């Protein structure tokens, strides 16, 4: 965290603000637009909810990965829009430093592309993720066109994934499908069920409660009508 140190020069009336050196958190620039931000948050929230009880993974978005063989943060770094590392401790990090993480690289990377980044995401970054990171699963998604493309590392080379009948792509690393739902990239279970965000899960739970209450009310009304009919026939329903 950067703290501002404010000093006042005696000869001048203006304030001189001095910023002391700070630790590097991430070299990533701000996200391009709100749509990209919402997409990353959606992926992160839904996966963390699905894996709520797990402590053996790290998932994050727009964070720098430092991978210099010389162990220097000033060179060899990239920042995927979203990535997951398996078999590691689930804790907060300032950045992903490969040499401080037992040499681990992401097991899956997702890039949210745009017209200004598509060439790099489909070219240079894909080569780095294939040849240097050796990331098993790589996907890119364009929220403007809904273009979804996926690759799996096979014999050191990325092989394009074939979409199933629903248009979903399978991630071997996550053991989940990726597909487009209402313009957003979403995770789906092997049974094709949408992996919800916490808000969606809450709404679904509330809907189930309301449905159960409605069914109970309907059952009570049905029983009341039956009792009334029996009494019309001179039958005491309490004796049945």
Domains annotated on the chain, with CATH: 26-196 (3.90.1570.10), 200-239 (no CATH)
Per-residue pLDDT, 7: 41
Per-residue pLDDT, 222: 81
Per-residue pLDDT, 229: 78
Q: Is the Cβ–Cβ distance between 94 and 124 less than 8 Å?
A: no
Per-residue pLDDT, 27: 54
Burial call 93-127: b when 16+ CB within 10 Å, e when fewer: bebbbbeebeeebbbbbbbbbbeebeeebeeebbe
Per-residue pLDDT, 110: 98
Q: Are strands 82-86 and 96-97 parallel, antiparallel or unpaired?
A: unpaired
Q: What angle (nearest 5°) sits at the alpha carbon of residue 140, between those of residues 86 and 154?
A: 60
Strand order of the sheet with strand 82-86?
A: 57-61, 82-86, 108-112, 137-142, 147-154, 157-160
Per-residue pLDDT, 10: 44
- Report, as ranges of residue numbers, the positions in the chain whose pLDDT lies below 50: 1-22, 24
């Amino acid at each position: 965290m950067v703290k501002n140190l404010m000093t006042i020069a005696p000869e001048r009336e203006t304030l001189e603000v001095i910023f002391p050196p700070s630790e590097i958190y991430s070299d990533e620039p701000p996200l391009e637009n709100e749509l990209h931000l919402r997409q990353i948050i959606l992926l992160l929230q839904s996966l963390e909810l699905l894996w709520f009880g797990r402590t053996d993974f790290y998932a994050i978005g727009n964070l720098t990965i430092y991978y210099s063989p010389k162990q220097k943060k000033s060179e060899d770094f990239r920042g995927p829009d979203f990535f997951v590392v398996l078999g590691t401790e689930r804790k907060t990090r300032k950045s992903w430093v490969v040499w401080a993480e037992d040499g681990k690289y992401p097991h899956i990377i997702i890039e949210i592309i745009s017209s200004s980044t598509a060439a790099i995401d489909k070219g240079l970054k894909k080569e780095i993720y294939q040849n240097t990171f050796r990331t098993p699963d790589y996907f890119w998604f364009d929220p403007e066109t809904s273009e979804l493309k996926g690759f799996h590392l096979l014999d050191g080379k990325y092989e394009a994934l074939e979409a199933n009948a629903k248009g979903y792509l399978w991630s071997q690393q996550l053991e989940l499908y990726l597909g487009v739902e209402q313009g957003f990239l979403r995770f789906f279970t092997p049974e094709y069920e949408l992996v919800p965000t916490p808000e969606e899960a809450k709404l679904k739970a509330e809907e189930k409660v309301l449905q159960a209450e409605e069914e109970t009310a309907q059952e009570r009304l049905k029983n009341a009508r039956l009792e009334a009919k029996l009494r019309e026939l001179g039958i005491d329903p309490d004796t049945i």
